[in-house]
């Protein structure tokens, strides 16, 4: 029937969420001639919507690689319309990009960024990239500006069988996505530009909207096809294969190697992340993104509450032990940072232990032990089912 139709936009006002867990970054690389004028001198911009990115010159049909940037920002805001996003565009030189720029971007953001995507989809992936990114994440952690780094890069002639094992790396803050769209805008962009766009924008958006303890592979919450254009309904890999054509053994191998990609689940509609791997041995406490986000938030919070006590007096009893009031003051400050996280369901429990016998008069140092019980993730649900002659 003839009518006047309205499509109601979302995210144009850029109203911020509470806290800063959603503050994110995306780093891109372009040939100097393709860099929008607004990014030529000031390489980093803070935006609150796709419209703001377009106003800065990130518009379609200017160049193939700029179209990729537009797509990543668009899908990031699809996942989280209230995203706060620092966008940086740096030049590449003869196919070489500077992966150390995460430090510059985080410093520009004054340490506010919690997760940052480094989009290198036009340059061949090298396993050394992971170590470079981690080394710079270590620099930021030492500056009290920790973050999770999500990386994507061109896989070239690599296949699902030849991709290197990320779990063999020592990079707790770095994760790598190798998924792409197989039938929607991303697929069309791959054809027009001859380069497959990763899902790094969608990944950053999903992480930003999740609580720090939540795995973005949670089927009940993170169906990535819930967007206005039904993007990602056909998941694929940047190696060229469609997910539906992969043998289960190959899927298991990719998962074991620690890559993040999109999958389908039999019995429910939609498309979902497989997991939240980091480039770290799976037995590590920091083998998954939610582990790192939880501990990073705890560290930031505890430091914030303890910082006013830096250089404060430490009172001791006649025998040199810390007074009860001194212990209580430091303990309560540290606990305050964790109490809200516990109320929000981001941790399961917490405690702070202070040894009263430590020699603070000689060392001018007080040591606290903060214990955190994390929230688990149901990576496997095992059901024992069968027939019985009677119920037990």
How far apart are alpha carbons 181 and 231 in whole angstroms? 7
Q: Rounded CA gap, 152 and 385, in Å?
A: 41
pLDDT at 206 over 70: yes
Alpha carbon 202 to its chain centroid, in Å, reads 10
Q: How far is CA 268 from CA 20, 178, 264, 384, in A?
A: 33, 23, 8, 21
Mean pLDDT on 67-86: 97
Q: pLDDT-based confidence at 385, cuts 50/70/90?
A: confident
Q: For position 229, what pLDDT does the model report?
A: 80
Q: 179 with 235: CB under 8 angstroms?
A: yes
Cα end-to-end span (Å), the chain = 60
Question: Per-residue confidence at 341, pLDDT binned at 50, 70, 90?
Answer: very high
Select from 195, 109, 115 the least CA-distant residue to 149: 115
The mean pLDDT of 193-219, rounded to a whole number, is 97
Q: Which stretch, 11-25, 89-103, 139-153, has highest mean pLDDT? A: 139-153
pLDDT of residue 6: 46
Give the HSE-up count for residue 23: Cα atoms under 13 Å, Cβ half-sphere.
Answer: 18
Instruction: Provide the pLDDT for residue 9.
Output: 52
In sequence order, what DSSP letters do the residues of 336-366 get, joined into one string?
HHHHHHHHTTS-SEEEEE--TTS-HHHH---
Distance from C-alpha of 247 to C-alpha of 254, rounded to nearest angstrom:
11
Closest CA to 342 of 309, 306, 379, 297: 297
- The model's pTM: 0.92
pLDDT tens readout for residues 285-298:
999 999 999 999 99
pLDDT value at residue 227: 84
What b/e sequence results for 111-149 when a residue is b if at least 16 CB atoms lie within 10 Å of its CB, and e otherwise? bbbbbbbbbbbbbebeeebbbbbbebbeebbeeebbbbb
Q: How far apart are CA 126 and CA 155, in angstroms?
A: 9
> How many other CB atoms are there within 10 angstroms of residue 6's CB atom?
6
157 band by pLDDT with thresholds 50, 70 and 90:
confident
Looking at residue 13, its pLDDT comes to 52
Tokens of 313: 């007096």
**Residue 145: what pLDDT?**
97
Backbone angles phi, psi at 327, to 5 degrees: -60, -45
Chain-wide mean pLDDT for the chain? 93
Report the distance separating Cα 279 and Cα 286, nearest Å.
9
DSSP state of 270: S
Any idea what the Cα angle at residue 186 is, between residues 182 and 189, rounded to 5°?
120
- Dihedral sign computed on CA atoms, order 236, 238, 241, 245: negative
Cβ 271 vs Cβ 233: under 8 Å: yes
Helix (H) / strand (E) containing 262: strand 262-263
Confidence of residue 179 (pLDDT cuts 50, 70, 90): very high
Tell me what pLDDT residue 1 has. Answer: 56
Residue 258 in tokens: 């620690």
- pLDDT tens per residue across span 104-125: 999 999 999 999 999 999 999 9
For residues 197 and 47, what is the distance between their CA atoms, to the nearest angstrom?
21
* pLDDT higher than 70, residue 84: yes
The answer to whether the CB of 289 falls within 8 A of the CB of 175 is yes
Is residue 386's pLDDT more than 90? Answer: no
Top pLDDT among 204 and 391 is at 204
Is 4 or 71 the better-scoring residue by pLDDT? 71
Cβ atoms 261, 252 nearer than 8 A: no
CA–CA separation, 184 vs 387, rounded Å? 45
Locate 342 and state its tokens. 């516990």
């Amino acid at each position: 029937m003839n009518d006047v139709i309205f499509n109601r936009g979302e995210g144009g006002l850029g109203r911020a969420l509470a806290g800063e867990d959603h503050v994110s970054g995306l780093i891109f690389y372009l040939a100097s001639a393709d860099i929008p004028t607004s990014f030529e001198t000031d390489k980093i911009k803070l935006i609150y919507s796709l419209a703001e990115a377009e106003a800065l010159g990130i518009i379609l049909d200017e160049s193939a690689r700029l179209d990729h940037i537009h797509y990543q920002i668009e899908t990031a805001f699809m996942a989280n319309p209230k995203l706060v996003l620092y966008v940086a565009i740096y030049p590449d030189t003869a196919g070489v990009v500077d992966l150390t720029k995460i430090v510059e971007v985080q410093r520009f953001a004054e340490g506010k960024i919690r997760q940052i995507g480094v989009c290198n989809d036009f340059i061949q992936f090298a396993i050394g990239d992971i170590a470079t990114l981690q080394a710079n994440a270590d620099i930021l952690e030492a500056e009290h500006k920790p973050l999770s780094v999500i990386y994507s890069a061109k896989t070239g002639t690599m296949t699902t069988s030849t991709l290197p094992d990320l779990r063999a790396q020592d990079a707790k803050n770095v994760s790598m996505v190798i998924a792409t769209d197989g039938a929607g805008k991303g697929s069309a962009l791959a054809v027009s530009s001859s380069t497959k766009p990763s899902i790094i924008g969608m990944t950053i958006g999903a992480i930003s909207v999740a609580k720090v303890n939540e795995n973005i592979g949670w089927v009940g919450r993170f169906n990535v096809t819930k967007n206005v254009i039904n993007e990602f309904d056909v998941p694929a890999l940047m190696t060229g294969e469609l997910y539906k054509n992969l043998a289960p053994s190959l899927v298991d191998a990719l998962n074991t190697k620690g890559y993040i990609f999109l999958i389908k689940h039999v019995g429910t509609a939609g498309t979902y992340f497989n997991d939240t791997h980091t480039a770290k041995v799976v037995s590590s406490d920091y083998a998954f993104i939610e582990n790192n986000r939880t501990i990073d938030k705890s560290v930031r919070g505890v430091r914030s509450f303890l910082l006013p006590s830096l250089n404060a007096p430490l009172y001791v009893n006649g025998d040199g032990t810390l007074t009860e009031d001194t212990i209580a003051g430091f303990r309560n400050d540290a606990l305050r940072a964790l109490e809200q996280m516990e109320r929000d369901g981001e941790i399961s429990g917490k405690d702070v232990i202070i040894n009263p016998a430590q020699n603070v008069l000689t060392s001018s140092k007080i040591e606290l032990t903060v214990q955190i019980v994390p929230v688990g993730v149901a990576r496997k649900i095992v059901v024992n089912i069968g027939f019985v002659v009677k119920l037990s």
